Structure 1
Amino acid sequence: MYSLRSHQAGDMGLIIQRHAVLYAAEHAFTAAFEALVARIAADFLDKFDAAREKCWIAEAADGRFLGCVMLVRSQDAGDLTTARLRLLLVEPEARGMGLGGRLIGECSRFARAAGYTRITLWTQRDLQAARRLYGREGYEMVQEEEHEKVGRRVVGEEWLLVL
C-alpha cells in the first residue's frame, strides 16, 4: 500500500540520493549521473510553476520513500504545449505494485489538465522496465543517440506521448 503526495522541503535531496545510489548499483552510472539529477532537481525548484509543473512522491504507510516522478515545462523557449517527464524512480521493494505505471499516468493526467498537448522524456536503452511502462502509456521512441552523460557509454532515447 502506498500514497502519493506533492514534494516538500528535503525531497529533492532524497530524490538525488536515491537516483545516485540505485542507478550506480543497478546500472553502473557514475557521479556524472548524480550531478545531472542534481541539476534537474535544482532547476525544478528554481523555476517551479505549480500550475504547470508537479513532483509526485510515493510513500509507504509508514512514510518510507517508495518512488517519485516530475512533470516540468519544456525547456524550449516559447513552447507552451510540451511537458517533460523527469526522474521516474521506483524503489526495488515497491516494484511490481503498479507504482511506476501510476506515476507515469499521474503525469499524463496533470499534463492534460494543464493544457499540454504532448509529453517528452529521455531514458536509456538499457532501462528496460521503464521503457515497457512508457510504451504501455502510449509513448513512442522518436530518437536515439549514444552519449556518456551517465558516466559510461549508453544509448539515450527520446520518447514522445501525444495527448
Structure 2
Amino acid sequence: MDAVLREYVPADRAWLVAAHGRLYARDEGFDDTFAPLVNDILAAFEAGHDPARETGWVAEVEGRSVGSIFCVDAGDGRAKLRLFLVDPVARGQRLGARLLEACMGFAQARGYRGMVLWTHAEHRAACALYQRAGWRCLRSEPVRSFGVDLTEQTWEIDFR
C-alpha cells in the first residue's frame, strides 16, 4: 500500500472532521464535542495560516484519504504538530512515521528551533513514534476531556 502525501486543501475539511470524530469515538470513546473542535482548528487554519511557515498534509491511497498531519506556528520560534491521524486501514505501513518525518522536516527547513504537540498517553502507538523520533514528554496529567478520563501530555523536540 503506497500512500501519497499531498498538501491539505479546504475541500479535505469534511473528511478530516468526520474521520477524527468517527475514529476517536470508536477507539477512545470521545463524545460529540471532539469533531467540532477539529472543524474549528481547520477553519482557523484556512482563514489565517502563513503558507510559508505552516502547512498540512493528507495521505491518500488509491485516491482515498487515510491520514493527516499539520505544522503550524506555535510562537517563540517553535512549530506545533496538529491533527495527526492515520486511518486503521493504513496502519502498520510506516505511514505515521512518514507523516511525522514530513512535518518535522518542514519545520526544520522553515527555521523553527523545535516543535511541540499535545496528545493523550492513551495514544500509545503515536507516543512511541514520537519517542523514537527524539521527542520527550514534558508534562503528563489526568484530565476529563471529550467525555472521558484521559492522561493529557505535552511533548517537545529541539532541532538545535
- Please indicate the TM-score interval, normalised by the length of the shorter structure: over 0.9
- Paired position in structure 1 for 2:109: 113
Matched length: 158
- Paired position in structure 1 for 2:140: 144
- Deviation of 1:148 after TM superposition, in Å, equals 2.4
- Paired position in structure 2 for 1:39: 40
- Paired position in structure 2 for 1:63: 63
TM-score, scaled relative to structure 2: 0.94
Query: Does residue 162 of structure 1 match 2:125?
Result: no
- Deviation of 1:66 after TM superposition, in Å, equals 1.2
User: What is the alpha-carbon distance in structure 2 between the residues aligned to residue 9 and residue 42 of structure 1?
Assistant: 9
SS in 1 for 2:112: coil
Aligned residue among 118, 123, 127 for 1:127: 123
Task: Note the residue ranges of structure 2 that are not aligned, 5 or more in a row.
Answer: none
Query: Does residue 96 of structure 1 match 2:97?
Result: no
- 1:72-91 to structure 2, matched below 5 A, reads 72-74=72-74, 79-91=75-87
User: What is the alpha-carbon distance in structure 2 between the residues aligned to residue 21 and residue 146 of structure 1?
Assistant: 23
User: What is the alpha-carbon distance in structure 1 between the residues aligned to residue 65 and residue 53 of structure 2?
Assistant: 24
Note if contact 1:84-1:121 (Cα within 8 Å) is conserved in structure 2. Answer: yes
- Deviation of 1:45 after TM superposition, in Å, equals 1.1
Write 1 or 2 for the structure with the bigger share of strand: 2
TM-score, scaled relative to structure 1: 0.93
SS in 2 for 1:159: strand
Cα shift readout 1:4-27 (whole Å, capped 9, x = no counterpart): 100123112211110000010011
- Deviation of 1:116 after TM superposition, in Å, equals 0.2
Give RMSD over aligned pairs. 1.1
User: What is the alpha-carbon distance in structure 2 between the residues aligned to residue 151 and residue 55 of structure 1?
Assistant: 28
User: What is the alpha-carbon distance in structure 2 between the residues aligned to residue 114 and residue 5 of structure 1?
Assistant: 18
Identity of matched residues, %: 36
User: What is the alpha-carbon distance in structure 2 between the residues aligned to residue 145 and residue 129 of structure 1?
Assistant: 19
Query: Does residue 48 of structure 1 match 2:49?
Result: yes
Note if contact 2:135-2:155 (Cα within 8 Å) is conserved in structure 1. Answer: yes
Cα shift readout 1:29-83 (whole Å, capped 9, x = no counterpart): 11122122122112211211111101011001x2001100001111xxxx34111
Cα shift readout 1:93-146 (whole Å, capped 9, x = no counterpart): 100000001101111100011110010000001110110111111110001222
User: What is the alpha-carbon distance in structure 2 between the residues aligned to residue 49 and residue 151 of structure 1?
Assistant: 33
| Aligned AA (2:78) | T
